Amino acid sequence: MINLKFLIIPSTLIMMISDGFIVRGPSGPLVVPLGGSVLLPCSVDSLSSLEDLEVEWKRSDSQTLIHLYQDGDMESFNDRAHFFTDDFTVGNFSLLLMNVTAEDEGQYTCTVHSGQESNETVVEIKVERLIVSGSNKSISVYVGDDVTLNCSVDSHIPSEHIEEVSWKKRVKDEHITVLLYESNKIHPDSSDEQYRDRVEFFSDEIHRGNFSLRLKRVRTEDKGLYMCHVFAGRFSDNTTIVLQQLGLSGLHIVVLILCIIACGSALLFCSLIYCRSNNSVFRLQMFLVFCPNIIMFFALVFLGVSEGSVYETVCCCALYVVRPVMLLYTAPYVQQFTGNIKTWILVYSYDTEYIVFSSVLYSVLFHFAWGKSLNYAGFEALIIKVLFGLVLLFYLFYSIYMFGKISGKLSEQVIKILNVLANTFLDVLPSLQLVIMFYSFGSARGGLFIVAVLPVILSATRWNWDVTCGRNVGCSPLVMRSVWFVLMLLVTTVMMFFYIMALENEKDRIGWACIMGFLQVLWTIFHFSLAFEDTDFPRVITVYVFGSVGVVLISAVALMTELILKAVNGEGPMGDLRIVIFSCETLFISSVLILLVFAPWIKPCLESFQKSEEHSTNARSNQTTPTGSV
């Protein structure tokens, strides 16, 4: 059926005059949508007879015959073209062309012969089409360089009538938005986080149908398939481009070298310590604690500069800044320190790590929430700022309190006031942290329940268990510490449940969950000193070596593997380094927590083992003494 909407017959006709008759055609081009039908007008005012009548339609450019009427017979050279033979008697020789294709665009000549007379008219067709074209070849680029992904729109549709142009990248089974043009505007906020501030259109070229994408500072994870999809009315088309063969940048090579140096230094210092005597290893132990971690810190900084999430980089860098504090606490040579340094290591080391890392983490969360604050009403945005202010205020109070206790430069009265303020905030801090998580990740659900119930649950962890359950109730140390440990497992499970619920809509929720799990274990160690007076720590060499050497090796190898596989495949095995780095660190500090809690039973076992080793060594020494020697 002919769609009359597209049968365009102008009222003004071009008349080509001859001695006998006039052939009429349209005054201008006929515009027809791709796949539609169009009537090519061709008529004469008067026709004396159909005898000796000949009508032919041809392509003007190639003279290809389309349709022919001659001697009463009709012959078609195109199965999509048709005459209206019943209208020949009234001089109508129009041609119906159906299912118009892009190749049908051009000029057509209608020639009418009657006896010795003839005349013609020319009809032009313009196909209203939407053709999107790009690069036919895959694109190769070095990491850190800029690249242009071509996308051109060939259409008779004006650029202002193009409704939407979307650039998307295929990631596994879904497509993420790279950049969006809609309603004659560019929408940079629609870009996925990894492309934010790195993609742009060529604004001056849009009116020409050029929607090419400029991708700046290419990263290894940018490798893959990109699609430019154009929508204009009921028309749509797309083109795809493959970005591949991403070479490592200079910064990536630096990261790989630093990771290798970190692994080598950790193994080297550990080997030297094992080979030296106890009197000469103190300096080597200090190198083992600080050097590999400082090198890994710079490796992560360079990785963050070249690519990667800001939140991922900042959290991992903060961990490698503070983790030497816990290593000093677990080191077997800690007794060699003196004065305030020894006091700080033995009493406030895990407190320091918790305070510093938490401050960094919640600053990152504040920045994350600030970016989403436009989605909240005015009151909710105010609540977010107040909550972050309270948490940071607690960290400030407790930091000043620790400084005063260690240095002795604050009066006793000021220290008591700061202690009361810090302990007050300590009771509500976990609830505030959880509410911040819910608001930061766009889900305030459950916030009131957390504020109302969680402080009641956590208050039991703030008892002095040596006094409350030991002296007053008469519980044995084994019962007290076992009950406290089970209670803390329950509290940790409840809090991790709320953390996971707050993160349910985040695509990188596993990385965030690993961070929160690490922070929760660190918080448990922090509370141990408040619950028990006896905090003597059995320093096990295996735990110390795992923390100082094993964690660095696993993290460095994971970083190198992720970087190399990203360059080769465009996607690493993990996608988020926080999963490996914080999981390993959580395993390390969990070992520290177990040693702290069950120290009264572990220390005798260690002492017995050491005596057994010494006895075996002495026995071997006696066996090797020559007979008759004094």
Identify the pLDDT of residue 85: 80
Instruction: State mean pLDDT over 542-567.
Output: 89
Q: For residue 247, give Cα distances in angstroms to 198, 257, 265, 451.
A: 19, 16, 28, 51
User: Domain 130-247: which topology?
Assistant: Immunoglobulin-like (2.60.40)
Q: Is 260 exposed, middle or buried (0-12, 13-18, 19+ CB in 10 A)?
A: middle
Contact 113, 131 (CB under 8 A): no
Long-range contacts of 21-24 (CB under 8 A, 24+ apart): 21/45, 21/46, 21/47, 21/91, 21/112, 21/114, 21/117, 21/119, 22/119, 23/110, 23/112, 23/119, 23/120, 23/121, 24/121
* Amino acid letter for position 553: L
Span 87-98, average pLDDT: 86
Map residue 225 onto helix, strand or coil: strand
314 or 274: which carries more pLDDT confidence? 314
Which residues share a beta bridge with 66? none
Residue that the structure tokens 């032919």 belong to? 56
pLDDT of 595 higher than 50: yes
Per-residue pLDDT at 8: 38
Place of tokens 């009709």: 74
Higher-pLDDT residue of 579, 508: 579
Strands 81-83 and 95-97: antiparallel
Give one word for 258, left, alpha or beta, with left for phi > 0 and alpha for psi -120 to 50.
alpha
Q: Is 165 exposed, middle or buried (0-12, 13-18, 19+ CB in 10 A)?
A: buried
pLDDT of residue 124: 92
DSSP 92: B
CA distances from 612 to 177, 537, 609 (A): 65, 21, 5
pLDDT tens digits along 421-439:
776 776 667 667 767 777 6
Q: Which amino acid is present at 290?
A: F
Mean pLDDT of 175-180: 89
Q: pLDDT tens-digit profile of 30-60?
A: 888 777 889 999 988 776 677 778 889 998 8
Percentage of the chain surpassing pLDDT 90? 16
The pLDDT of residue 110: 92
For residue 173, is pLDDT > 90? no
Q: What is the DSSP string of 272-321?
A: HHHHS-GGG-HHHHHHHHHHHHHHHHHHHHHHHHHSS-HHHHHHHHHHHH
Domain locations in the chain?
4-128, 130-247
- Determine the pLDDT at residue 15: 39
CA separation (Å) from 293 to 67, 290, 427, 611, 621?
83, 5, 33, 34, 39
- Per-residue HEC secondary structure of 448-489 comes to HHHHHHHHHHHHHHHCCHHHHHHHCCCCCHHHHHHHHHHHHH
Output the pTM of the full model.
Answer: 0.66
pLDDT at 622: 58
Instruction: Report residue 218's pLDDT band, with 50, 70 and 90 as the boundaries.
Output: confident
Tell me the percentage of the chain whose pLDDT exceeds 70: 78
Provide the terminal-to-terminal Cα distance of the chain, rounded to the nearest Å.
121
Among candidate residues 522, 470, 223, the one with its CA nearest the CA of residue 361? 522
**Nearest of 150, 145, 120 to residue 132 by alpha carbon:** 150
Burial of 407 (0-12, 13-18, 19+ CB in 10 A): exposed
- Asked if 127 and 32 touch (Cβ cutoff 8 Å), the reply is yes
In whole angstroms, give the CA distance from residue 228 to residue 152: 9
**CATH topology match: 4-128 vs 130-247:** yes
Q: Could you tell me the two tokens for 611?
A: 């005596």
Burial of 604 (0-12, 13-18, 19+ CB in 10 A): exposed
Q: Is the pLDDT of residue 10 over 50?
A: no
Q: What pLDDT score was predicted for residue 416? A: 78
pLDDT at residue 16 tops 70 = no
Topology of the domain covering 4-128 = Immunoglobulin-like (2.60.40)
Q: What is the dihedral of CA 186, 191, 195, 197, to 10 degrees?
A: 50
pLDDT value at 600 more than 70: yes
Cβ neighbours for 91, distance < 8 A, ≥ 6 positions apart: 21, 43, 44, 45, 46, 47
Q: 376 to each of 127, 369, 500, how far by Cα in Å?
A: 49, 10, 21
- DSSP state, 496? H
State yes or no: pLDDT of 68 exceeds 80. yes
Contact 239, 228 (CB under 8 A): yes
Averaged pLDDT, 238-267: 86
Is residue 208 helix, strand or coil? helix
Predicted confidence band of residue 290 (pLDDT cuts 50, 70, 90): very high
- Match 């591949």 to its residue by tokens: 244
- Partners of 182 in the beta sheet? 164, 185
